[in-house]
Amino acid sequence: SSPNAPVFLREPNSSTLVTSNLRRAIETGSIAFQNRIAKSSEQMRLLSSLQEMSRNVDASALAEAGKIPDLTVVLANIDSKAFDPVKVYDATGNNGNKPLKSNGLIRMKEFCDWSLHKQADNVIVVAGGHSLWFRNFFRAYLPERTDYIGKNKKIVNCGVVSFDLVEDESGCVMIDPNSLNELYGGYSGVQAKKGA
């Protein structure tokens, strides 16, 4: 991890690590946070609410509810001593593959509810997932009049964007548009900002 990365990304237990329940997202998070996890006993939580919105075959969960998918390939390429799957991954939030009656908005609402009300470890949540999911999240939770590139362009692979998710007294949830910060990579088809 880069010494220039924000504390909530690099320091153990400074944030709650979560990822989609799809193997490709779990593998990316495992690679990105392998040094951090090796220094601590923190877990990465698998959340079905972050599962990709597409009906394509690569958007289907391979592990059943409460289980961890086969991670043999990624574990062979990182310091696997620090990555005993049973100790590193918390699969209690993995409900298996998304049901046919589900949709992306339902899962985004579940993620917001979990982030704001149910997770107690940290105020900061670092969520690994899918660019289409995040583009739709920006569309759903940024104020309608907010002109933001993330509503129309997808985050690049391994891109990092931070923001504050807030809830008002009436229970309305939104992204504070003034909190948006491209930390790494930027968006597809757009030149990354210097320093990002």
- Integer angstrom CA distances of residue 104 from 11, 73, 88, 140: 31, 29, 27, 10
Mean pLDDT of 77-106: 81
Q: What is the pTM of this model?
A: 0.88
Q: Is residue 1 over pLDDT 80?
A: no
What is the DSSP secondary structure assignment for residue 155, as one 8-state letter?
B
Q: Which of 20-29, 76-85, 102-111 has the lowest mean pLDDT?
A: 76-85
Mean pLDDT of 152-181: 95
pLDDT for residue 172? 95
Q: Is residue 194 over pLDDT 60?
A: no
- Collapsing DSSP to helix, strand or coil, 160 comes out as strand
pLDDT for residue 185? 93
Give the count of alpha carbons within 13 A of 113, CB side only: 8
Q: Nearest-5° angle of CA 113, CA 21, CA 134? A: 60
Question: Each residue of 33-57: pLDDT tens digit?
Answer: 888 888 887 899 999 999 876 566 5
Question: Each residue of 6-17: pLDDT tens digit?
Answer: 888 888 888 899
Q: Enter the tokens of residue 55.
A: 């009906």
Amino acid at 118: K
- Collapsing DSSP to helix, strand or coil, 10 comes out as helix
